[in-house]
């Protein structure tokens, strides 16, 4: 992919629900909360939302509910009616659902950006949602396994697939149990001040290393949880004084569904391909990033992500993490939200939440942040490069108003 | 939740014959202790990525509770996948079991010292297993769709 001239895409607003076992909240409750929060935060009117991109992996299995596009559209219509002090509105933005397993969220962000950059729309909403805890954990595991190759990986689980990658990484690079545990410890520490995080609990290296084995060598505290949650962002090609981030570029990489078809078992080719595309698209290097939100569905996944993104040499990410070089306060902070491990992983929401979290917390004008979202065991990977922009929280200018003023 | 539906089973079983008796070497493995749905009955079981002659790779469940480690030799066999006792299709499928004759395993990049051998005919598939609960009588045929 070569870099092309295209309209800039700005994150005007964001909303994240609390992640966790939200037994008192339905799929639609979670969607509604995230959508309403993001639109309110963006200071755009609901009627200015021209299209909606819904990210979801498995509501059809978890909740027997598909066709989420119109559901989201109806929610924006409700907000438009309320804003207009009316019971009815005709503002039902066109909406579509995007699915890419755990990368659904980032793929929906990409689809939204492409629509904006093609100048089909100028302001859109992206919402990611997953309601996973209405079924037993065993059933949830089975549903998630649908993202693996059901013909060639029979009997596999996601912990099992990542366990094989961990085993290979440990054998090739000498990655240690303690280094894997340090990822979990760090991310749980980072989640302590994230109000949306599923867990607000510290763990020690010893606690992680002695937790129950799930699939050798991965243990319970190496694994991200099953979560309910939703996140939403408002994107626009028209910046406002309340804009939080500018999206500089993105990349989408793919690989075989099954591990057996991969060129490597110690790296994810999809991430490497997505990284190259994203850097070319943005004209910036990921090495300049200060905050990086990566897909730590398992501790080994974070280490591989740092290496595949070029932030660490192959085999070095474990020691860097153990030495605190990716912790809050370091030059490169990895998973400041707590990542999937501690913040939670409602799969369809995760990619959207990564960007929404940065919109809320990454307040460094001109600085670079990166998100990395993976589907399956690495069959899909999406990388975004984002830039912090000057924000004036007191301003409530509308996108169109701001655009007119600037012109 | 079924491992496989009857029609999927009918399609899949036609592809098993070429694999039965194939021998290869474990490249990566894990022991799955928490499994999904019907596979829970087998846990803990090995999940292995096996390399065969000519570099062909595929993932399999291991037979029973065998712990398969990288570098070990395995061969493909037909084993039961589910433990359902309903009067439904009994799902069988490909698994691997440990193979003892070291010299007959094809070389792999991870194990360059081994010598390559011709692929074994399907008829050589060994029905022997440490799993008394996994029926082996279906190994003689490739059409194993049956009910009870």
Q: Least CB-CB distance to B32: which of A160, A167, A259?
A: A160
Distance CA A86, CA A378 (A): 47
Mean of the per-residue pLDDT values of chain A: 93
Cβ neighbours of residue B80 closer than 8 Å, sequence gap 6 or more: B90, B91, B92, B133, B134, B135
In this predicted model, what pLDDT tens digit does every residue of A96-105 receive, in sequence order?
999 999 999 9
Active-site hit among A43, A102, A223, A281? A102
pTM score: 0.88
Distance CA A246, CA A358 (A): 11
In this predicted model, what pLDDT tens digit does every residue of A278-325 receive, in sequence order?
999 999 999 999 999 999 999 999 999 999 999 999 999 999 999 999
Q: Do A167 and B28 touch (CB under 8 A)?
A: yes
pLDDT at B104 over 70: no
Residue A345 is a catalytic residue? yes
pLDDT grade, residue A209 (50/70/90)? very high
In this predicted model, what pLDDT tens digit does every residue of A171-191 receive, in sequence order?
999 999 999 999 999 999 999
pLDDT at A406 over 90: no
Give mean pLDDT, residues A3-29.
90
CB-hemisphere CA count at 13 Å for A379?
A: 19
Higher pLDDT: A344 or B140? It is A344
Please list every residue in chain A whose beta carbon sits closer than 8 Å to the beta carbon of residue B28: 164-165, 167-168, 259, 265
Location of structure tokens 């655009």: A403
In this predicted model, what pLDDT tens digit does every residue of B24-83 receive, in sequence order?
999 999 999 999 888 888 999 999 999 999 999 999 999 999 999 999 999 999 998 876
Q: Do B33 and A215 touch (CB under 8 A)?
A: yes
Please list every residue in chain B whose beta carbon sits closer than 8 Å to the beta carbon of residue A153: 59
Contact B106/B52 with Cβ under 8 angstroms?
yes
**Which tokens belong to A172?**
């090739």
Percent of chain A scoring above 70 in pLDDT: 94
In this predicted model, what pLDDT tens digit does every residue of A345-360 receive, in sequence order?
999 999 999 999 999 9
pLDDT of residue A401: 45
Distance from CA of A142 to the nearest CA of B (A): 5
CB-hemisphere CA count at 13 Å for A212?
A: 5
pLDDT of residue B105: 59
Q: Which helix (H) or strand (E) holds B30?
A: strand B23-32
pLDDT at A203 over 90: yes
What residues are paired with A13 via a beta bridge? A234
Higher pLDDT: B54 or A123? It is A123
Residue A196 is a catalytic residue? no
Q: Which helix (H) or strand (E) holds B62?
A: strand B57-62
pLDDT of residue A404: 41
Active-site hit among A295, A345, A372, A384? A345
Q: Least CB-CB distance to A163: which of B30, B57, B60?
A: B30
Q: Least CB-CB distance to A159: which of B34, B42, B93?
A: B34
Percent of chain A scoring above 90 in pLDDT: 86
ipTM of this complex: 0.86
pLDDT at B120 over 50: no
pLDDT of residue A173: 98
pLDDT of residue A137: 86
Higher pLDDT: B130 or A157? It is A157
Q: Any idea what the Cα angle at residue A45 is, between residues A350 and A387, rounded to 5°? A: 45
Give mean pLDDT, residues A126-143.
93
In this predicted model, what pLDDT tens digit does every residue of A48-86 receive, in sequence order?
999 999 999 999 999 999 999 999 999 999 999 999 888
């Amino acid at each position: 992919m070569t870099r092309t001239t295209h309209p800039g895409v700005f994150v005007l607003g964001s909303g994240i629900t609390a992640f966790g076992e939200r037994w008192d909240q339905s799929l639609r409750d979670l969607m509604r909360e995230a959508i309403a929060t993001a639109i309110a935060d963006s200071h755009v009117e609901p009627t200015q939302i021209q299209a909606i991109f819904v990210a979801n992996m498995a509501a059809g299995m978890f909740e027997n509910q598909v066709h989420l596009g119109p559901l989201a559209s109806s929610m924006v219509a409700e907000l438009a009616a309320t804003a207009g002090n009316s019971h009815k509105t005709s503002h039902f933005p066109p909406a579509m659902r995007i699915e890419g397993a755990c990368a659904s969220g980032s793929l929906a962000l990409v689809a939204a950006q492409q629509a904006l950059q093609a100048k089909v729309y100028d302001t859109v909403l992206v919402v990611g949602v997953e309601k996973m805890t209405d079924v037993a954990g065993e059933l949830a595991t089975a549903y998630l396994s649908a993202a693996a190759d059901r013909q060639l990986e029979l009997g596999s689980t996601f912990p099992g697939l990542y366990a094989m990658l961990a085993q290979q990484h440990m054998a090739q690079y000498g990655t240690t149990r303690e280094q894997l545990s340090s990822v979990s410890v760090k991310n749980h520490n980072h989640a302590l001040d994230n109000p949306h995080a599923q867990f607000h609990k510290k763990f020690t290296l010893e606690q992680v290393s002695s937790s129950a084995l799930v699939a050798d060598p991965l243990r319970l505290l190496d694994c991200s949880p099953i979560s309910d949650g939703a996140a939403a962002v408002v994107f626009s090609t028209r910046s406002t004084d309340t804009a939080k981030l500018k999206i500089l570029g993105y990349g989408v990489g793919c690989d075989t569904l099954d591990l057996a078809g991969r060129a490597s078992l110690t790296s994810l080719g999809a991430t490497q391909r997505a990284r190259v595309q994203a850097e070319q698209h943005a004209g910036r290097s990921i090495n300049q990033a200060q905050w990086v939100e990566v897909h730590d569905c398992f501790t080994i996944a974070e280490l591989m992500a740092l290496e595949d993104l070029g932030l660490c040499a192959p085999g070095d990410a474990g020691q860097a993490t153990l030495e605190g070089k990716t912790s809050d306060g370091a030059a490169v902070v990895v998973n400041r939200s707590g990542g999937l491990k501690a913040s939670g992983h409602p799969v369809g929401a995760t990619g959207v939440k990564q960007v929404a979290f940065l919109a809320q917390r990454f307040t460094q004008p001109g600085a670079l942040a990166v998100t990395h979202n993976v589907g399956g065991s690495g069959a899909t990977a999406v990388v975004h490069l984002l830039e912090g922009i000057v924000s004036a929280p007191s301003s409530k200018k509308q996108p169109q108003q701001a655009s007119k003023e600037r012109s | 939740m079924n491992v496989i539906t009857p029609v999927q089973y009918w399609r899949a079983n036609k592809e098993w014959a070429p694999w039965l008796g194939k021998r290869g070497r474990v490249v990566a493995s894990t022991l799955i202790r928490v499994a999904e749905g019907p596979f829970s009955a087998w846990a803990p079981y090995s999940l292995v990525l096996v390399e065969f002659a000519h570099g062909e790779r595929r993932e399999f469940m291991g037979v029973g509770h065998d712990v398969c480690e990288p570098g070990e030799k395995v061969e493909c066999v037909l084993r039961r996948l589910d433990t359902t006792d309903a009067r439904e299709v009994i799902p069988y499928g490909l698994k691997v079991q440990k193979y003892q004759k070291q010299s007959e395993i094809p070389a792999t990049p991870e194990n360059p010292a081994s010598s390559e051998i011709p692929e074994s005919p399907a008829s050589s598939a060994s029905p022997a297993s440490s799993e008394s609960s996994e029926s082996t009588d279906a190994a003689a045929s490739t059409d194993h769709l049956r009910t009870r």
